[in-house]
């Protein structure tokens, strides 16, 4: 049974929790959908502006990692299994996995990406930003970029030992500095384009 909250997010209502194996047997969808502690959360499709920004960041990262033979980049929807036993599967907007960690990518991404990007919307589409940041830190993501569409800024969060260890705001015309991609230096304005 499903229900829709006031903010438009669809939540599977209480019943027996869904296992990760059951989740992977559900019909494939292009809508945002995640499994959180055995409960499916999904939401309406994101707005065109959101998807355009996601595409811009995907292209910028893809070109950079190709040039440096660093790893691979994927765009959502792609299932990232953070905790198989506790049934936690998320779908960040963009993920990057280093070549050294390529083994976690098979039919799904079975573990933490090195870098995740979340393009923030006026209303959270699935869950809260705070819970997502906590999961990324807890399960071993190295870095998260929070992209503000209207301000054209990026907040870079570095994680270590399960917590946020550094948080810095990169303004539109400042080069993005990343501990995961030390050679990356594009500005948010350049990534956003026109």
CATH of the domain at 181: 3.90.1570.10
> How high is the pLDDT of residue 7?
54
Is residue 15's pLDDT more than 80? no
> How high is the pLDDT of residue 28?
87
1 lies in some domain: no
36 lies in some domain: no
Is residue 120's pLDDT more than 80? yes
Is residue 9's pLDDT more than 80? no
113 lies in some domain: yes
* 25: three-class secondary structure by DSSP: helix
d(Cα 185, Cα 67) in Å, to the nearest integer? 13
33 lies in some domain: no
First to last CA, the chain: 44
23 lies in some domain: no
**Structural domains of the chain, count:** 1
Give residue 32's Cα distance to chain centre: 11
Is residue 116's pLDDT more than 90? yes
92 lies in some domain: yes
Is residue 59's pLDDT more than 50? yes
> How high is the pLDDT of residue 1?
45
| DSSP string covering 45-108 | PPPHHHHHHHHHHHHHHHHHHHHHT-EEEEESS--EEEETTTTEEE--SEEEEEGGGGGGBSSS
14 lies in some domain: no
d(Cα 122, Cα 128) in Å, to the nearest integer? 12
Q: What does the block give as tokens for 105?
A: 């990518």
40 lies in some domain: no
Q: Which domain holds residue 58?
A: 45-192
For residues 31-48, give the mean pLDDT. Answer: 90
């Amino acid at each position: 049974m499903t229900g829709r909250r006031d903010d438009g997010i669809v939540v599977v209502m209480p019943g027996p929790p869904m296992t990760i194996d059951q989740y992977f047997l559900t019909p494939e969808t292009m809508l945002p959908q995640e499994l959180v502690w055995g409960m499916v959360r999904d939401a309406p499709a994101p707005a065109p502006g959101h998807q355009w920004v996601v595409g811009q960041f995907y292209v910028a990262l893809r070109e950079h990692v190709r040039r440096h033979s660093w790893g691979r980049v994927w765009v959502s929807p792609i299932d990232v299994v953070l905790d198989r036993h506790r049934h936690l599967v998320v779908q960040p907007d963009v993920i990057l996995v280093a070549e050294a960690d390529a083994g976690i990518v098979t039919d799904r991404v079975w573990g933490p990406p090195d870098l995740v990007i979340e393009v923030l919307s006026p209303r959270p589409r699935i869950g809260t930003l705070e819970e997502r940041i906590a999961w990324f830190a807890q399960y071993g993501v190295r870095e998260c970029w929070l992209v503000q569409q209207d301000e054209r800024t990026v907040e870079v969060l570095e994680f270590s030992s399960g917590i946020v260890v550094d948080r810095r705001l990169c303004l539109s015309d400042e080069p993005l500095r990343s501990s995961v991609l030390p050679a990356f230096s594009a500005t948010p304005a350049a990534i956003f384009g026109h």
